Amino acid sequence: MATHADFQSNVRFPVLALLHPREQTRAVILLATGGLLFWGVVVSFAGMPIWGATTVVLGLLLAPGIRKWHADLQRYGITAMVLSILLAMQSFHSIEHGAQWIQYHILDWPSWQSSGLISVFNAEWVHFIWNWAVVAVVIYLVRRGMQGWWARLLLIWAVAHACEHAYMLARYLELQRELARLGVPAVSAQGLPGILGRDGWLARSPATRGSFVCRLPGITTAPRLDVHFWWNAGETSLLLAAAHAFLRTRLKALPAQ
């Protein structure tokens, strides 16, 4: 069983200490290795879509993940468990954005095809729900003691990111209604720009067009995929910094077991 001393030995990198699978390490390694082999075979030779194979692999890893998070709850309390889940999910979310970036910039796939590893979830509703769920979890963590400048910056960034997705969802629904009125409801409006980036609100608005805002690198010129890669990179970096500061304080307060 992990003890206070175990955490203190990792106090320099408390996030890694929290994310360590501990008793589930062997299961995670075996399932991850087998899952990657399965992924390569079924995608390359059986014609399974990337999103389907990725979903299967994540499903395999969910079982040891749940056991690990239950152990976190028993050892360190509900706040640490929630933070551990958010860190794990945000880490995969970052991998997803990284995969989209590679598909678009390195493999030279068109933007509509650069949908990451779970393309079926690359939908405006999913982005909207995910980002506002992150805001809700961050608010919960702040209320439970994750304080300081990093936590405040994380909350501000997460809200701004979620507002961007709220704007894009509103545009998506508006255009879908227009397409339905024109008699082409099967055409999807997925992939519209948001506030930032090429053809975004800042680039089109008379209030900002030609201003210093439009001269900032990428603010009104970056493609949507890049805009959200950097939104996510900033959010993940701030989450890691806030979690590090919170856990260093929390570890000192943990009673020895």
Q: pLDDT above 90 covers what percent of the chain? A: 66
* DSSP classification of residue 12: T
Residue 40 burial (10 A CB sphere; 0-12, 13-18, 19+): exposed
Q: How far is it, in rounded angstroms, from Cα 24 to Cα 73? A: 15
* DSSP classification of residue 256: P
Residue 239 burial (10 A CB sphere; 0-12, 13-18, 19+): buried
Residue 30 CB coordination number (10 Å): 12
pLDDT tens per residue across span 205-255: 888 877 887 778 888 899 999 999 999 999 999 999 999 999 987 765 554
pLDDT given for residue 206 in this prediction: 86
pLDDT given for residue 253 in this prediction: 57
Reduced DSSP (H G I as helix, E B as strand, rest coil) percent helix, strand, coil of the chain, to 5: 70, 0, 30
Q: What band does 11 get if pLDDT is binned at 50, 70 and 90?
A: low
DSSP states of 129-189: HHHHHHHHHHHHHHHTT--SHHHHHHHHHHHHHHHHHHHHHHHHHHHHHHHHHTT-TTS--
pLDDT tens per residue across span 172-198: 999 988 888 888 776 677 888 899 998
Output the average pLDDT for the chain: 89
Q: How far is it, in rounded angstroms, from Cα 33 to Cα 221? A: 40
Residue 178 CB coordination number (10 Å): 11
Q: pLDDT above 70 covers what percent of the chain? A: 92
